[in-house]
Chains A and B, each alone.
Chain A
């Protein structure tokens, strides 16, 4: 059984005492002094209940009284810092740590991989943060973790730091680090969906409606996206919902998904599966299968992330495909959903000055160019997108910037995982034909309300 560590050390103590009670009770049945045993067991149970009572009351400071990071600290930084995160597939984490160490001369940064996958990295980060470990000074955080980590009081408040750097950061990317009017991380590199299309078969899509209509015209034109029941489906759905003007939570944080826009998008997507705009096979695709299917040459459009560009260019398809920002909704605007990774300072960091200096370096326009040039990631600094060297490496930089600037964060809430499940499970139910749009919208809204009511 996979249990998460106890959040309070007091509760940890109660487990063995209860276990003792249980084992003594077992022994007791074959002994002749059951009364004494029952008394001991009862005492142990009572102690356990008492301890849990204490644990229940004592809450550690959360987001309201988190310590703040001071931008001025960077100047006097020294010592070493440790950056923790997932697998460094593109080499950007180690690369940035090394470049920072060289440039700084005073602070040594190293990168520690704490998980092979995003989920694993999150579990590992959560365990370290819950255990108040000082091992990591900076955590690479997925944009959707911010509110969860911040609300637990695990992160240093970076509001001053982010505000000082505001002029060099793309506004949409900063939004992903915001929770309850404060910033809890600095964006490091971002990500946004793109549409890849076969130039010989179809035209660059301006609207989703146009894309779907074109895709339905011939079997070889159809659209591949990520329709499997997982986080990626939430992203694919929200990209359309946002461009149609819909939202999940409104400005006050109330559930706003039970809307005509949600119904319109769901009907549109499921109609697309019936018309042949997309094959039912997309219901089994996440990012990689979608790319592999598209590489077979039997499709017209693909929704995927920027990293696919390099992979497609390594196939015979090189030169036959175009890259477009996500299309607009007819009568609406173009929008999207932000991905990417932020830099959060652990509340238990023993070298906050070093961490601040690292973040200053990593988000500076100079280094952001390298983020694109050396590691093919999307910079959080706008100027980087128009650098000649960046354009040479990423010819679609202009389209990517358009996608990034128009994109919005996913719903910001400490219970985001539950909200996302409510979205992707119900969207999947509609697409697979297991539920009607009306039922799915109702249960989506209901499940998000339940999630928001979590203790």
Chain B
């Protein structure tokens, strides 16, 4: 990757190979080698190792006994119902939570971008939910949605609103709603911060020009703010989607995967840790990894194009 990003500017010239050019390329390789090795150590080694494990089965009966099974672990996972159920549930979760986070994050960023007293302080304060450890916030949400005793159920009952008698974490649909809510609460500030950074690079002159041309506030928002914000929103979407597809702690604490909330990572964890099925669990980890990779590639291909277009337009 690092080498590639160095070369585009000189790609055409380097075709006619001359001594200086080759020497320069060697120097480039030497200079990037340490970071490449580092990247290999942090990323490639663990992934390669997991891949290796996933092609084997490790006996749960006899210590040290293992056998090479090729793609059997993958075939078992892909032909059974559990992987696909988790796959669907994870995507449902990611779709719901990321869309909500982007909408709310944009709104929050617009508010934080207004000039008012104490703005700096507020910008710090809104990040607080993001600073809370997810497991801790999950336990808090679990307590709040507890039947009969929970804060939410009690408030709903007292106000005579529907939902007070719902066993939130014990019903299909409701359980997912609580998990999505917990995630939105926690990570909207993160999305807002990225989008806020995008807002701040839009120059005031653009708006002034629009105003002179007689554009309404809404028109300015729809035709200036949103298109120029797109790179920031896409960036937030990529980060959040990748995170959401790997969700583990929220369903683990809130439902243990019951009521249609078992995520891909939870499934892998159960096989690896609880059942010590190292090969099978590694295959699930690799499948999760591939899924997340595929989604990021799609994002960068399609939405990334937008980033380039916008960048060009800006120039």
Binding site for B on A (CB under 8 A): 1-4, 7-8, 11, 14-16, 18-19, 22-23, 26-27, 30, 48-49, 52-53, 55-56, 58-60, 62, 119, 123, 126, 130, 148, 151-154, 228-230, 279-281, 283-284, 289, 292-293, 296, 298, 414-415, 417-418, 421, 428, 432, 434, 454-455
Q: CB < 8 Å: which of B63, B169, B273 contacts A2? A: B273
Q: Does B269 count as interface, using CB distance less than 8 angstroms?
A: yes
Q: What residues of chain B lie closer than 8 Å to A417, measured between beta carbons?
A: 274-276
Query: Are the C-beta atoms of B37 and A454 separated by less than 8 Å?
Result: no
A31 to B270, CA, bound (A): 43
The distance from the CB of A260 to the nearest CB of chain B, in whole angstroms, is 27
Known: A7-B64, A432-B170. 7 other contacts (CB 8 A): A19-B44, A23-B36, A27-B36, A59-B63, A280-B147, A283-B170, A298-B148
Query: Are the C-beta atoms of B149 and A293 separated by less than 8 Å?
Result: yes
Q: What residues of chain B lie closer than 8 Å to A55, measured between beta carbons?
A: 64, 66
- Which residues of chain B (51-73) have a CB below 8 Å from chain A? 52-53, 56-68
Q: What residues of chain B lie closer than 8 Å to A289, measured between beta carbons?
A: 146
Interface size class of B (residues with CB under 8 A): 35 or more
Q: Does B200 count as interface, using CB distance less than 8 angstroms?
A: no
Q: What residues of chain A lie closer than 8 Å to B171, measured between beta carbons?
A: 280, 432
The binding surface of chain A is classed by DSSP as: helix
Max chain A CB contacts within 10 Å: which of B57, B61, B272, B277? B61
- In the assembled complex, 16 residue pairs joining A and B whose CB atoms fall closer than 8 Å, in A order, are A1-B46, A1-B50, A19-B40, A23-B40, A52-B68, A56-B67, A151-B62, A154-B63, A228-B256, A293-B149, A432-B170, A454-B60, A454-B61, A454-B275, A455-B58, A455-B67
Known: A19-B44, A415-B275. A455 touches B60 (CB 8 A): yes
Q: What residues of chain A lie closer than 8 Å to B272, measured between beta carbons?
A: 2-4
The distance from the CB of A233 to the nearest CB of chain B, in whole angstroms, is 10
Known: A56-B67, A228-B258. A296 touches B149 (CB 8 A): yes
Q: Does B172 count as interface, using CB distance less than 8 angstroms?
A: yes
A16 to B41, CA, bound (A): 9
Query: Are the C-beta atoms of B147 and A454 separated by less than 8 Å?
Result: no
The distance from the CB of A452 to the nearest CB of chain B, in whole angstroms, is 10
Interface 1/0 per residue, B246-276 and A, CB below 8 Å: 0000000001111100000000011011111
Q: CB < 8 Å: which of B48, B58, B256, B275 contacts A22? A: B48
A228 to B64, CA, bound (A): 35
The distance from the CB of B72 to the nearest CB of chain A, in whole angstroms, is 10
Query: Are the C-beta atoms of B57 and A455 separated by less than 8 Å?
Result: yes
The distance from the CB of B3 to the nearest CB of chain A, in whole angstroms, is 5
The distance from the CB of A231 to the nearest CB of chain B, in whole angstroms, is 10
Query: Are the C-beta atoms of B276 and A4 separated by less than 8 Å?
Result: yes
Q: Does B290 count as interface, using CB distance less than 8 angstroms?
A: no
Query: Are the C-beta atoms of A152 and B68 separated by less than 8 Å?
Result: no
The distance from the CB of A153 to the nearest CB of chain B, in whole angstroms, is 5
A281 to B167, CA, bound (A): 6
A48 to B273, CA, bound (A): 25
Query: Are the C-beta atoms of B46 and A59 separated by less than 8 Å?
Result: no
Query: Are the C-beta atoms of A1 and B60 separated by less than 8 Å?
Result: no
**Closest chain B residue, CB of each to CB of A298:** B148
A162 to B169, CA, bound (A): 45
Q: What residues of chain A lie closer than 8 Å to B49, measured between beta carbons?
A: 3, 15, 18-19
Q: What residues of chain B lie closer than 8 Å to A148, measured between beta carbons?
A: 60, 276
Nearest 8 A-B pairs (CB), nearest first? A281-B147, A283-B170, A229-B258, A59-B65, A15-B49, A23-B40, A152-B63, A19-B45
Q: CB < 8 Å: which of A2, A151, A418 contacts B275? A: A418
Known: A19-B40, A414-B60, A455-B60. A11 touches B3 (CB 8 A): no
Q: What residues of chain B lie closer than 8 Å to A59, measured between beta carbons?
A: 59, 62-65
Q: CB < 8 Å: which of A53, A230, A284 contacts B146? A: A284
The distance from the CB of A291 to the nearest CB of chain B, in whole angstroms, is 11
**Closest chain A residue, CB of each to CB of B59:** A455
Q: What residues of chain B lie closer than 8 Å to A279, measured between beta carbons?
A: 147, 167
Q: What residues of chain B lie closer than 8 Å to A152, measured between beta carbons?
A: 61-63
A280 to B60, CA, bound (A): 37
Query: Are the C-beta atoms of B276 and A126 separated by less than 8 Å?
Result: yes
A245 to B56, CA, bound (A): 40
Q: Does B285 count as interface, using CB distance less than 8 angstroms?
A: yes
A230 to B252, CA, bound (A): 11
Interface 1/0 per residue, B271-287 and A, CB below 8 Å: 01111111000100100
Known: A2-B269, A15-B45, A293-B148. A7 touches B58 (CB 8 A): yes
Q: Does B197 count as interface, using CB distance less than 8 angstroms?
A: no
Q: What residues of chain B lie closer than 8 Å to A60, measured between beta carbons?
A: 62-64
Query: Are the C-beta atoms of B278 and A3 separated by less than 8 Å?
Result: yes
Q: What residues of chain B lie closer than 8 Å to A27, measured between beta carbons?
A: 29, 36
Q: What residues of chain B lie closer than 8 Å to A151, measured between beta carbons?
A: 60-62
A414 to B277, CA, bound (A): 12
A418 to B289, CA, bound (A): 24
**Closest chain A residue, CB of each to CB of B56:** A52
Known: A52-B56, A126-B276. A7 touches B66 (CB 8 A): yes
A8 to B67, CA, bound (A): 12
Q: What residues of chain B lie closer than 8 Å to A18, measured between beta carbons?
A: 48-49, 52
The distance from the CB of B302 to the nearest CB of chain A, in whole angstroms, is 26
- Which residues of chain B (104-132) have a CB below 8 Å from chain A? none
Q: What residues of chain A lie closer than 8 Å to B169, measured between beta carbons?
A: 284
A455 to B256, CA, bound (A): 26
A281 to B153, CA, bound (A): 12
A289 to B146, CA, bound (A): 8
A56 to B68, CA, bound (A): 8
Known: A417-B274, A454-B61. A432 touches B46 (CB 8 A): no
Q: What residues of chain A lie closer than 8 Å to B65, measured between beta carbons?
A: 7, 56, 59, 455
A322 to B170, CA, bound (A): 29
Q: What residues of chain A lie closer than 8 Å to B40, measured between beta carbons?
A: 19, 22-23, 26
Query: Are the C-beta atoms of A23 and B37 separated by less than 8 Å?
Result: yes
Q: What residues of chain B lie closer than 8 Å to A154, measured between beta carbons?
A: 63
The distance from the CB of A62 to the nearest CB of chain B, in whole angstroms, is 5
The distance from the CB of B219 to the nearest CB of chain A, in whole angstroms, is 48
A154 to B169, CA, bound (A): 39
Query: Are the C-beta atoms of B61 and A283 separated by less than 8 Å?
Result: no
Q: What residues of chain B lie closer than 8 Å to A8, measured between beta carbons?
A: 64, 66
Query: Are the C-beta atoms of B52 and A48 separated by less than 8 Å?
Result: yes
- Which residues of chain B (205-252) have a CB below 8 Å from chain A? none
Query: Are the C-beta atoms of A62 and B270 separated by less than 8 Å?
Result: no
Interface 1/0 per residue, B126-170 and A, CB below 8 Å: 000000000000000000001111000000000000000001111
